[in-house]
Amino acid sequence: MADIDRQRNIAFVGPHHAGKTTLVEAVLAHCGAIPRRGSVIDGTTVCDHEPEDIAHAQSTTVAFAHCNCGPIDATIVDCPGFIDFYEETKMALAGVDAAVIVVDADPARASHTQNLVDYLEARKMPHCFVVNKMDRPGADFEATLEALQSLYGRHVVAEQWPIVDKNKQSDKSSGFCGYVDLADMHDVPPDLEERTKRAHVELLEAMADFDDHLMEELLEGVEPPPDEVERDLCAECSHDQIVPVLVASAATGEGVDALVRAIEKWFPSPAEAAQVDAEGRPIAADPNGPVIARVIKTSIHPQSGKLSVVRVLSGTIKGDATLTDISQGGEKVRSGGLYRLQGKKQEPIPEAGPGAIVAIARLEAVKTGDTLTSNGHKVLLPRVPLSEPCFAIAIKPKERIDEAKIFQMLARIVDEDPSLRLARAEITNEFLLLGSGEQHVGIAVERLGRKYKVEVDTAPPEIPYQETITSGTEIHSRYKHQTGGHGQFADVWLRFEPRERGSGVTFEEKIVGGVVPKQFFPAVEKGVRETLAHGPSGYPVTDLHVTLFDGQYHDVDSSEQSFKTAAGMGVRDALPKCHPVVLEPIAHVTVTVPTTYTSTVIQQLTGKRGQILGMNPAERSGYDAIEAYVPQVELSRYITELRTATQGLGSFSSRHERYDPVPGNRVGPKAAV
Ligand SMILES: Nc1nc2c(ncn2[C@@H]2O[C@H](COP(=O)(O)OP(=O)(O)OP(=O)(O)O)[C@@H](O)[C@H]2O)c(=O)[nH]1
Ligand SMILES: [Mg+2]
């Protein structure tokens, strides 16, 4: 068998805590890649190796492992299930040829995989389900299977049926002790004969939808020979026609042997999995062709530097290769070593051919998602569509250290994870870290502390309130100060008028007869504008027109400074007389949810003082897009609340729309905020 035919690249994906990392551990142990299984709780697994994974007893980033399953050389990508890390999972999926979706044996959680299934189906990526935690009391395979089928269609079909030993049932165990293979139907326990027979027929019927010969056999009542069933199953699974459902307990290891066989038989090798470039042109998996590789993950070690995990599509990369980063304008980059990853362990290898997932050291300019080629070969791979960040925190250094330094360190954290973003907030000028959720940015801040010893305080971003006036006034302001020699004198009359919302501050002078000399106009304007930066409640004042229309000066004592001071005093006097109000930013929000959650979301938005603009079927079928105006202050934790209310399936985007007066002027003065 050629090298490439022996390879399998599989992602383990699925909802948070379904047991992916534990199952990968069980597969590695079963295949002899590790001497014994570690545990997530003890922080001893191959894949949850980052300190943040261990601290939280969950995966916080994708991890890579490999093992030999019989003749097969499998690279397994263990993806984090927590929804905040979904963007990373999408990047990693761009490097594999098939996915194992691990789910809990609990029908109520079946819908948690909706996003993933839609994503895989849209890419026609072969996948199977593993119903895990079958050892748990109350584990319900049949109900879980039904839930999966009703959500994802009848081509999702059981390939195994769990065997439960009633004598082994306890308050700690369901008694799960094995499975019936529904393709070959060997050794069926008598009490399962009837149920598994039905399941066997369901499997064949689902497969027959894609196989005329099998359909004929079924119609004629002929039982197809087991090897034909096996062959069809492989063909249909590897073409993403059939989605087999398996059973397992990652905790006991039961079912892991069958999963390993499934990986070997049902999933395509890199040679069979079609790859295309950004223009849809096929890429041949040719070891002697030009190198074409995609960066699917970046990690940065403060001492040893950058490690870029790439999936090679074509060509052979050597340990000291010079590559071209097509995504970075053709920059030449030199490999600082080639490794295969077993969790955190880096195993040096001399070269990597098509189909390989390998780590390349010290490609400093290279980012996740980039296309690397040899000899400037101009091919660009399709970009993975990442969602815009929907959660932000403000970052403040704990100690008074250089902000530029923190920015630099954070930029390295963002370099590792392209779904994070750094920004400077308008108006408040705060330093923001944006990401896919509270945990996503929280873990990034933990990483910053650990890797670069930078401690920062975090807080919800300040709301950029503003103030405005609702009525006008005229004010007389005189500044006069006598100190020994030179005095200071300025006298101004200012008119204040409200302006349309969003029109900002305008200033004009209407001085007649030179009562205030021209050279002092800019000083008056400066005094006005500077003082308007902090209104009666402390927020910037906007949407008003100020006119300098009269005044007096003194030949000797008047100066720019005295006019500036007089103008500032005038503003301070005038504003409280103009019925000032606080303005809050209002966002235009679009929430996308499965239609079953539409009314829940509308209620939620209304509770947030939202004004519903309408709802329409979203681009994605079965989903609604609800549009509303919502005060920004109500949105700071909205993504978390939305996900809680929609089993993680809701998402939203928002943009600044306008400023509105805060009802009842309920916002406290800035100093108290
Ligand atoms: N009883 C039982 N517990 C399991 C099984 N598989 C995993 N667990 C436990 O479930 C918890 C979550 O397991 P993980 O392997 O971390 O799950 P995961 O899917 O990798 O979680 P994330 O990466 O955080 O999404 C751990 O406490 C495991 O010990 C199983 O088959 N049976
Ligand atoms: Mg995990």
Choose the final residue of a domain: 373, 401, 425: 373
Backbone angles phi, psi at 338, to 5 degrees: -120, 135
Residue 513 lies in a domain: yes
Residue 158 lies in a domain: yes
- Could you give the CA distance from residue 45 to residue 39 in angstroms, rounded to a whole number? 5
Using the predicted structure, report yes or no on whether residue 416 has a pLDDT greater than 80: yes
What pLDDT, on a 0 to 100 scale, did the predictor assign at position 335? Answer: 95
Do the Cβ atoms of 563 and 516 come closer than 8 Å? yes
Among 12, 16, 22, 171, name the best residue to mutate to test ligand 1's pocket (greatest count of ligand atoms within 8 A of Cβ). 22
Are 60 and 134 part of one and the same domain? Answer: yes
Are 105 and 232 part of one and the same domain? Answer: yes
Q: Is the CB of 17 under 6 A from ligand 1?
A: yes
Residue 76 lies in a domain: yes
Backbone angles phi, psi at 671, to 5 degrees: -55, -30
Choose the final residue of a domain: 578, 598, 614: 578
Among 40, 42, 53, 104, name the best residue to mutate to test ligand 1's pocket (greatest count of ligand atoms within 8 A of Cβ). 40
Do the Cβ atoms of 467 and 474 come closer than 8 Å? no
Per residue in 276-318, pLDDT tens? 999 999 999 999 999 999 999 999 988 888 999 999 999 999 9
Q: Is the CB of 442 under 6 A from ligand 1?
A: no
Q: At what angle do helices 256-266 and 20-30 cross, to 10 degrees?
A: 80
Q: Please give the residue range of the domain that contains residue 421.
A: 391-459
Are 402 and 355 part of one and the same domain? Answer: no
Do the Cβ atoms of 644 and 604 come closer than 8 Å? no
Report the CATH number that the domain containing residue 442 is assigned in CATH.
3.30.70.870
- Could you give the CA distance from residue 314 to residue 244 in angstroms, rounded to a whole number? 30
DSSP single-letter state for residue 246:
E
Choose the final residue of a domain: 578, 613, 645: 578
- Could you give the CA distance from residue 205 to residue 570 in angstroms, rounded to a whole number? 85
Q: How many domains does the chain have?
A: 5
Kindly state the helix (H) or strand (E) to which residue 69 belongs, with its residue range.
strand 63-69
Residue 277 lies in a domain: no
Residue type, 671: A
Ligand 1 centroid from CA 70, angstroms = 26
Q: How many helices (H) and strands (E) are present in the chain, helices listed first? A: 16, 32
Residue 382 lies in a domain: no
What sign has the CA pseudo-torsion 636, 641, 642, 644? positive
Report the CATH number that the domain containing residue 598 is assigned in CATH.
3.30.70.240
Task: Give the SS3 label for residue 370.
Answer: coil
Using the predicted structure, report yes or no on whether residue 673 has a pLDDT greater than 50: no
The residue among 594, 589, 590 whose CA lies nearest residue 650 is: 594
Per residue in 117-127, pLDDT tens? 999 999 999 99
State the average pLDDT over residues 30-39. 96
Ligand 1 centroid from CA 40, angstroms = 7
- pTM, two decimal places: 0.92
Report the CATH number that the domain containing residue 533 is assigned in CATH.
3.30.230.10
The beta strand positions in 499-604, using DSSP E, are: 505-509, 544-552, 580-594
- Could you give the CA distance from residue 61 to residue 594 in angstroms, rounded to a whole number? 27
Ligand 1 centroid from CA 578, angstroms = 62
Other beta carbons less than 10 A from residue 87's beta carbon: 21
Q: Is the CB of 49 under 6 A from ligand 1?
A: no
Residue 280 lies in a domain: no
DSSP single-letter state for residue 386:
P
Write down the H helix ranges in 220-267: 226-238, 256-266
Residue 279 lies in a domain: no
**Ligand sitting nearest the alpha carbon of 49:** 2
Do the Cβ atoms of 131 and 141 come closer than 8 Å? yes
Neighbouring-strand partners of residue 360: 308, 338
Among 12, 13, 17, name the best residue to mutate to test ligand 1's pocket (greatest count of ligand atoms within 8 A of Cβ). 17
Are 151 and 248 part of one and the same domain? Answer: yes
β pairing state of 63-69 and 651-661:
unpaired
What pLDDT, on a 0 to 100 scale, did the predictor assign at position 665? Answer: 64
Taking ligand 2, which is a single-atom ion, which protein residues have CB atoms under 5 Å away?
Answer: 20-21, 59
Ligand 2 centroid from CA 439, angstroms = 15
Of 156-160, 191-195, 227-231, the least confident: 227-231
Report the CATH number that the domain containing residue 123 is assigned in CATH.
3.40.50.300
Q: How far is CA 419 from CA 117, 385, 569, in A?
A: 21, 10, 48
Are 543 and 606 part of one and the same domain? Answer: no
Are 635 and 538 part of one and the same domain? Answer: no
Of 52-66, 133-147, 425-439, the least confident: 425-439
Are 427 and 564 part of one and the same domain? Answer: no
Are 424 and 317 part of one and the same domain? Answer: no
What sign has the CA pseudo-torsion 177, 181, 182, 187? negative
**Ligand sitting nearest the alpha carbon of 116:** 1
Are 88 and 234 part of one and the same domain? Answer: yes
Average pLDDT of the residues of the chain: 94
Residue type, 409: M
Ligand 1 centroid from CA 189, angstroms = 29
State the average pLDDT over residues 30-58. 96
Report the CATH number that the domain containing residue 354 is assigned in CATH.
2.40.30.10
What pLDDT, on a 0 to 100 scale, did the predictor assign at position 668? Answer: 66
Place of tokens 């750094």: 422
Ligand 1 centroid from CA 19, angstroms = 3
Are 517 and 548 part of one and the same domain? Answer: yes
Per residue in 154-164, pLDDT tens? 899 999 999 99
Are 490 and 442 part of one and the same domain? Answer: no
Residue 657 lies in a domain: yes
What pLDDT, on a 0 to 100 scale, did the predictor assign at position 294? Answer: 97
What pLDDT, on a 0 to 100 scale, did the predictor assign at position 493? Answer: 98
What pLDDT, on a 0 to 100 scale, did the predictor assign at position 579? Answer: 96
Please work out, in degrees rounded to the nearest 5, the angle formed at the alpha carbon of residue 657 by the alpha carbons of 656 and 658. 110
Are 477 and 620 part of one and the same domain? Answer: no
Of 29-43, 61-75, 392-406, the least confident: 392-406
